[in-house]
Structure 1
Amino acid sequence: LLSDLINKANGLNRANYTSASLKAVDDVMTRAKEVLNNPEATKEEVKTAVAELTKALAGLEANSVKQGDKTVSIKTGDETSLGMLMSLTGLSLLSFIGYVSIKRKED
């Protein structure tokens, strides 16, 4: 279990979390690796390391994304597609209204 938690911590995308919460994980990771690599470690030491690392991982805080910040988030294009769809819908509606208005004037 301790080895799995260490692997999980090593596999984190560090750009997604605050530096303060990552520091807490890093501090616990140092102790956890010492326990894992110690063949003389007691069950109590392993349990303590597991509990501390679990708590540190649970305490990770995600970075908040500021307006226009592209360093943390991945742009999926969803906003662009929605914006384009709304623009085309509005343009179509205006064209239809214009067409109906011209037709009425002709009649």
Structure 2
Amino acid sequence: DLINKANGLNRASYTAASLKVVDVEVEKATAVLNNPEATKEEVEAVVAALTKAMSGLEIKPNNPSVDTNTPVKPGDTTASVKTGDDSNLVSVLGAVTSLSVIAYLSRKKKK
């Protein structure tokens, strides 16, 4: 889910340098995801690194598509309000848990 979230970013909204960091971490996370022998520690490390990279994304200056100073009018259902959450911890923990279970089951299956 975290890899999909990173791949689904609106790339026009962020600086090239911060997107490059995310892209590098997505490559690493994809390699671990596709490795049936990945350890729990490897999974946790790439999840943490990708989460950190995504929270470090920098919005392009003067980007009209991400205007943080536009007031939200009452009843406006098209605007989103930034609440301070940069990542969804539940989805990160869910991804770690899922990948850990997959790694455990694949090791058990081999035995």
Whether TM-score is above 0.5 comes out as yes
How far off its partner does 1:73 sit? 2.2
TM-score (norm 2): 0.57
1:40 aligned onto 2:62:
no
3-state SS of paired residue (1:61) = coil
Q: Percent identity?
A: 65
Alignment of 1:1-107 (within 5 A): 4-65=1-62, 72-74=63-65
**Structure 1 position 56, deviation (Å):** 0.2
> Structure 1 CA distance, aligned partners of 2:61 and 2:50?
23
Q: Distance in 2 between matches of 1:10 and 1:24?
A: 13
Structure 1 unaligned runs (5+)?
A: 66-71, 75-107
Query: Which one has a bigger Cα radius of gyration?
Result: 1
Whole-Å Cα distance in 2 between the matches of residues 57 and 34 of structure 1? Answer: 18
Please, what TM-score do these two structures have when normalized by structure 1? 0.59
More helix by share: 1
Structure 2 residue identity aligned to 1:16: S
The structure, 1 or 2, with the larger RCO (C-alpha pairs under 8 Å, 6+ apart) is 2
Q: How many residue pairs align between the two structures?
A: 65
State the distance in 2 between where 1:13 and 1:54 align.
16
Following the alignment from structure 2 to structure 1, what is the Cα–Cα distance between the partners of residues 22 and 15? Answer: 11
Q: Which runs of 4+ in 1 moved over 4 A?
A: none
Aligned CA-pair RMSD: 0.9
Unmatched 5+ stretches in structure 2: 66-111
